[in-house]
Amino acid sequence: MSIFICGEIGINHNGNMDICKKLIDIAVESNCDAVKFQKRDIDLVYSKEVLDSPRESPWGKTQREQKLGLEFGLEEYKEIDNYCKTKGIEWYASAWDLNSQEFLRQFNCKYNKVASAMLVYEDLLREVAKDKKHTFISTGMSTYEDIDNAVEIFKSMNCPFELMHTVSTYPMKDEHANLKMIQVLKQRYGVDVGYSGHETGLAISCAAAALGISSLERHITLDRAMYGSDQAASLAPVGLKNLVGSVRKIVNAMGDGNKTILDEERKVAFKLREHLGKL
């Protein structure tokens, strides 16, 4: 058993490459397997009415200015690609539209990701599955029918994938975690199941690790008080290091389920059972 651990940078870089590189460094130092981003063509993902509506942000007074401020373009992703290669960590991104999936192809990342919000976007699912790359599919805010349909698409196109149990609230309340869904998804679909967490703290993700997840994704940040809708549901550097260390320890502690007597136990048994004559 091993757990693939991804530090979700998403848009927590706030459009700043220095912040982005610091987050990549933290993921590397914490022994994550990968970092993940989000890619959008905002004119496809949002309506003109939304983009023209007011929103105060560090980049201006409209939704368009805010969302453009959070989007990296070709030069930034080239820099991300080169930086991750020098640091020895994988990176990939969830595309929110067809143009973005085509954009990401030029980097030949090892993995793809379907965000919970995009699980019902069949054209995008087929476009992702065409790549035949191992794909992480989040299942937040989705019905069994939605998941059934996505699974059928990926199976019919012979694209390797795993599901991720997800609750799409930011931050998620502990009582909404519903971790028993991990086993339900495994049994219903016969595939590996990971966990994409939006809670505060470490305990729920550690519990998910003990339930046999194949992957774990958590948002990461330099500071949970920074500007951004995902920051409060993210792990700061110390939290990420503690989580990865705990999860690796949990995996190591799970064992194989076979009852054996360790050599170290036999020495203890000799001392404690000698008077019984049963060694």
pLDDT, one tens digit per residue, over 224-267 is: 989 988 998 899 999 999 999 999 999 999 999 999 999 999 99
d(CA 121, CA 136): 15
- At residue 131's C-alpha, the angle toward residues 125 and 137, to 5°, is 45
Percentage, residues of the chain above pLDDT 70: 100
d(CA 170, CA 224): 12
Amino acid at site 267: K
Q: Give long-range contacts, CB 8 A cutoff, 24+ apart: 100-105.
A: 100/39, 100/40, 100/41, 101/127, 101/128, 102/127, 103/39, 103/41, 103/74, 103/77, 104/39, 105/131
Find residue 165's DSSP bridge partners. Answer: 195
| pLDDT number for residue 278 | 72
| pLDDT number for residue 235 | 97
Specify whether the CB–CB gap between 197 and 207 falls below 8 A.
no
CATH number at residue 121: 3.20.20.70
The count of domains in the chain is 1
d(CA 120, CA 231): 26
d(CA 165, CA 195): 5
| pLDDT number for residue 195 | 98
Prior bond of 58 cis (ω within 30°) = no
| pLDDT number for residue 184 | 98
Average pLDDT, the chain: 96
- At residue 221's C-alpha, the angle toward residues 164 and 242, to 5°, is 75
| pLDDT number for residue 279 | 63
Residue ranges of the chain whose pLDDT lies below 50 = none
Count each helix (H run) and each strand (E run) in the chain, helices first.
12, 10
- Domain membership of residue 175 as a residue range: 4-276
